[in-house]
Homo-oligomer: A and B are copies of this chain.
């Protein structure tokens, strides 16, 4: 007790979230689509109750406080049960991305020292690709069609006869979850989330100016639950009592649109690629789906081009941009149009909505230029964004990557940004993707966004290529839409409405696909290897 303080020392923990789901939101649906396309239904209450049985089963299998339990699962009710059970019992749920290369998965499970893994039957092949490289005490399989392979346990079997535990009281600064960075540079690095960070992040994400989650909502996270806490949506749903629709492995546009319609989804969240393909489907068949209950689509993980927002506006659907990273849990900023811009012209509105947004409460931001000076918030000066807050990492697992943090403990994001007077962030580039030509910076992101606004362009990635005269010059790699054409002259003309002459790329390379990381980001390193050889 400090200064005669008389407040309860109640821990901020997913335990409270799980208990709330079981007590207050018992009957709220949790809908899962299985790999075969079938739908199963359960409730938040049932998942929370089963989590208490799962915790007993995991304890019986030797899991104790601080142990890592890995998941290789889709967005499905069992994954939610793992989100519930593992932190609340005092262990650490470590979500693995099945789209990573076997070598990366090998590194990650070894680095984390995962003791047990829970695998969906449909992901056993992925598991086979790295299982022999690491010793798991137990492998638990969520089965659908066939029994668990010999030597592995069946998820339902271990839960069936287990007694539901009473959750222990846990220090809110204890670790509860873990996720690895996508590792576009160097080895993936582990981020370990505290109980406190997990729930503060989800509560802040639920605020009206962020994702605005309420008991009226039905959430469909297209963003995978193996990807940075699924942007906080599972805990937000359980805390606020929103319905949860978990789309499993089938994330093609038609499947997602069908699910949004039939399950009366009010909010969905995913990376730009998902919404781009979905927009194509909507443009092709604008009257096929009744999406009248769909209130907002959250886009994050990569910058959304204006054309994406415009496209959805045509269908009466609102896309809201959010920004974050593995190191920030991930939600850091959301781009909601401020009240005073509501009556602005379209250009100003889109200009704002394509920004990364305003930092959430308790999420501190600043940016530093090359000379290490803090930039002014004038929407002009550029610098690397540094952040801190209750759900921001202050280091990595096993003490790697210390140079990603400043001496005073802020996380260096690697994003080069401008910040306007109201604190709205605009990412100009990744520090390593910025093009420096003749001593001036050219933003590859700005070029990409404007190229993607061209009707013939499906995808665009801009990289820096060495240039004898200018140091670096931008090079554009393009995927054209089927049946459409555009040449260098047309594309330069298109860009010249927004960019100075010296900023225009000289080289345009036309390809059939642009390589992407497991989390959907352009693999610019690969492009550089290919086009700067």
- The CA-CA distance from A203 to B196 in the complex, in Å, is 15
CB distance from A376 to the nearest CB of B (A): 12
A5 within 8 A of B: yes
Asked, given contacts A215-B209, A216-B339, A389-B8, whether A423 binds B23 with beta carbons under 8 Å apart, the answer is yes
A531 within 8 A of B: no
* Chain A residues touching B, majority SS: loop
Which B residues are CB-close (under 8 A) to A7? Answer: 173, 192-194, 196-197, 390-394
Which B residues are CB-close (under 8 A) to A196? Answer: 7
Asked, given contacts A208-B212, A209-B215, A216-B339, whether A5 binds B361 with beta carbons under 8 Å apart, the answer is no
- The CA-CA distance from A194 to B10 in the complex, in Å, is 12
Q: Specify which of B6, B200, B208, B397 is in contact with A208 (CB 8 Å cutoff).
A: B208
A:165-217 near B, CB below 8 Å: 171, 173-175, 190-194, 196-197, 199-200, 203-204, 206-209, 212-216
- The CA-CA distance from A395 to B4 in the complex, in Å, is 10
- The CA-CA distance from A208 to B336 in the complex, in Å, is 15
A52 within 8 A of B: no
Q: Is A4 within 8 A of B213, CB to CB?
A: no
Which B residues are CB-close (under 8 A) to A175? Answer: 2-5
Q: Specify which of B2, B16, B192, B423 is in contact with A5 (CB 8 Å cutoff).
A: B192
A362 within 8 A of B: yes
Q: Is A24 within 8 A of B423, CB to CB?
A: yes
A:391-434 near B, CB below 8 Å: 391-398, 409, 411, 421-423
The size class of the interface chain A forms with chain B is: 35 or more
Which B residues are CB-close (under 8 A) to A214? Answer: 207-209, 212
CB distance from A423 to the nearest CB of B (A): 4
A140 within 8 A of B: no
A20 within 8 A of B: yes
A66 within 8 A of B: yes
Asked, given contacts A3-B92, A66-B3, A92-B3, whether A215 binds B339 with beta carbons under 8 Å apart, the answer is yes
A-B interface, 10 closest residue pairs, ranked by CB to CB distance from nearest: A208-B214, A3-B175, A3-B66, A24-B423, A6-B395, A8-B394, A10-B390, A7-B194, A7-B197, A6-B192
Q: Which A residues form the contact surface with B (CB < 8 A)?
A: 2-10, 12, 16-17, 19-20, 23-24, 26-27, 65-66, 92, 171, 173-175, 190-194, 196-197, 199-200, 203-204, 206-209, 212-216, 239-241, 336, 338-339, 358-359, 361-362, 364, 388-398, 409, 411, 421-423
